[in-house]
Structure 1
Amino acid sequence: MKKFMVALTGLVTVATLGATVPATGITANAATKKTTSTYVSPSLKVNAIYNNSKTIKGTATKGSKITVKSTKNAKKNLATATASSKTGKYTAKLSKTLKKNTNVYVYATNPKTKAYFYRIIRVQAAATKTATKKTTSTKKTTTKTTAKKTTSTKKSTASFSVKTPTGTWKSNTANKYSQVFTFSQKAGFNQTLYKNGKKVKTLVSYATYKVDAKTPTFWKITYTPKNAKKSSSFYMRFTSAKKFKIVNSKNQVVKTTAGVAPAANWTFTKN
């Protein structure tokens, strides 16, 4: 009888332990997974602007929102428009007359991603027609008449224009090293280092980038490599539509390093 009671007590104990063990669920990590989206700024081209202009015209990425401001942080807009969804062309009607030798800020913004790109445009003086005086003489003389020479005011803008950095740019060779920069709407910014023509390392890949045009030829590029939290930047000065130099924030040519390559002056030419 005692053996029977001990056995029965053991069965009760096992049943009780089994009932009190909690079930452990598996929580999916989807709620804590952080996802990031990468966006590329729109392209933007602005036609010359004069002090008698009624509108501002140009082309941009199709469907971009165009805004014109008197200063970078101005709350009120001078004009707004939307780039054509078929051609990318836009015409923004100005709300007031612009003064010559002042700057206007023209922005192109992606309405969905809010990524933007802007240009600083100098307002030029409108050309005026001047009557040319015709001088006639009735007597022949041996004195040479010197024609009055009219000199035009130098334009503050460059004789060339750069729309976007999109494309492949190859550097000069310094200490046997060279670089290739690639800017793409799809693949972002990529930087590759070469030595004696052979690839050494990809320094930057699939980085999102933003262009800050300090002047039409002096730009700041801010980029964030794929899966990186911190952004980096560099400055470029265009000497032609297909060539730029690496400079500092004061637009001065400086020596910079690239991966394992020693510091050098870099000049890039578009392929």
Structure 2
Amino acid sequence: MKKFMVALTGLVTVATLGATVPATGITANAATKKTTSTYVSPSLKVNAIYNNSKTITGTATKGSKITVKSTKNAKKNLATATASSKTGKYTVKLSKTLKKDTNVYVYATNSKTKAYFYRIIRVQAAATKTATKTTKKTTTTKTTAKKTTTAKKSTASFSVKTPTGTWKSNTANKYSQVLTFSQKTGFNQTLYKNGKKVKTLVSYAKYSVDAKTPTFWKITYTPKNAKKSSNFYMRFTSAKKFKIVNAKNQVVKTTAGVAPAANWTFTKN
């Protein structure tokens, strides 16, 4: 799933091969009411999919278009639907069942702005009656099943739907940062020193999310009136915490405005 880290305006990769390092940060003008709805990609939640499933269900931003693909760049869709304009719930009918242990790409797209968000879902094997009986009769099978279940829960012990909200960083060399993702004000980045504001590095930027994996995301953003977009990568270690990483999901030191390079970890406020 899919360049080393391209610098966040003010968050730039240090000593990373092939990284792009902008000379200065871009600060956009204040957003207008007409553009506030175009900032963010839709939210998307997908329920578990099994190899005997005839539908794919979940919730997304109200009215968004739901598309299912076999691969990220597949030209032909497996199925499509539209999320409810009132509840956001959707049901996508499949023309045929999916093979277990394969991946499907489920997209939610804003029909007006074309901003999108997708999740990669693994098709699971449906439980069978035979397997259930065997588990009850054999103690060894029971133990194995419990261990397997525990491992799965540990691997997917949390999920992140969208980055919406305010995220505060650790303090490094007396500096700290605050990142905000909002449907009204877009993406914003502010730098602080000893708790006092130094400068707004990015403001009112449109942004979109590309989920490489459920916990490894690429954020692409374009400040208002800017022609070029920038991006950075985040690795979630919990539903309310992420680290800044490069395109290979490696933790790297980055700078933020005048702040020296450091490893940054952000916690949701």
TM-score by length of 1: 0.77
Contact 2:240–2:267 under 8 Å retained in 1:
yes
CA shift at 1:46, angstroms? Answer: 1.1
Moved more, 64-73 or 8-17: 8-17
**Structure 1 pair 117–22 and aligned structure 2 pair: CA distance change class (3 A):** closer
CA shift at 1:124, angstroms? Answer: 2.0
Moved more, 103-112 or 23-32: 23-32
Contact 1:254–1:265 under 8 Å retained in 2:
yes
Q: Report the counterpart of residue 187 of structure 2 in structure 1.
A: 189
Moved more, 190-199 or 11-20: 11-20
Contact 1:57–1:90 under 8 Å retained in 2:
yes
**Would you say how many aligned residue pairs link Structure 1 and Structure 2?**
269
CA shift at 1:70, angstroms? Answer: 0.4
Moved more, 153-162 or 80-89: 153-162
- Mapped to 1, the partners of 2:144 and 2:2 lie a distance apart of 140
Contact 1:158–1:217 under 8 Å retained in 2:
no
Contact 2:218–2:234 under 8 Å retained in 1:
yes
- Mapped to 2, the partners of 1:181 and 1:14 lie a distance apart of 20
Equivalent of 2:231, from 219, 230, 233?
233
Moved more, 104-113 or 33-42: 33-42
Higher relative contact order (CA 8 A, sep 6+): 2
Secondary structure at the aligned position of 2:198 is classed as strand
CA shift at 1:77, angstroms? Answer: 1.3
**Structure 1 pair 226–135 and aligned structure 2 pair: CA distance change class (3 A):** closer
Contact 1:122–1:157 under 8 Å retained in 2:
no
CA shift at 1:34, angstroms? Answer: 15
Deviations 1:79-136 (A, max 9, x none): 111100100100101122112221111111111222211111122222334567x999
Contact 1:65–1:108 under 8 Å retained in 2:
yes
Unaligned runs of 5+ in 2: none
Secondary structure at the aligned position of 2:36 is classed as coil
Q: CA RMSD in A?
A: 21.3
**Structure 1 pair 196–63 and aligned structure 2 pair: CA distance change class (3 A):** same
Contact 1:157–1:216 under 8 Å retained in 2:
no
CA shift at 1:47, angstroms? Answer: 1.2
**Structure 1 pair 148–165 and aligned structure 2 pair: CA distance change class (3 A):** closer
Name the larger-Rg structure.
1
Secondary structure at the aligned position of 1:7 is classed as coil
Secondary structure at the aligned position of 1:150 is classed as helix
**Structure 1 pair 94–202 and aligned structure 2 pair: CA distance change class (3 A):** same
**Structure 1 pair 184–149 and aligned structure 2 pair: CA distance change class (3 A):** closer
- Mapped to 1, the partners of 2:199 and 2:171 lie a distance apart of 16
Q: Report the counterpart of residue 2 of structure 1 in structure 2.
A: 2
CA shift at 1:158, angstroms? Answer: 2.1
Secondary structure at the aligned position of 2:11 is classed as helix
CA shift at 1:177, angstroms? Answer: 0.7
Percent of pairs identical after alignment? Answer: 95
- Mapped to 2, the partners of 1:3 and 1:58 lie a distance apart of 32
Moved more, 5-14 or 164-173: 5-14
Secondary structure at the aligned position of 2:38 is classed as coil
**Structure 1 pair 256–6 and aligned structure 2 pair: CA distance change class (3 A):** closer
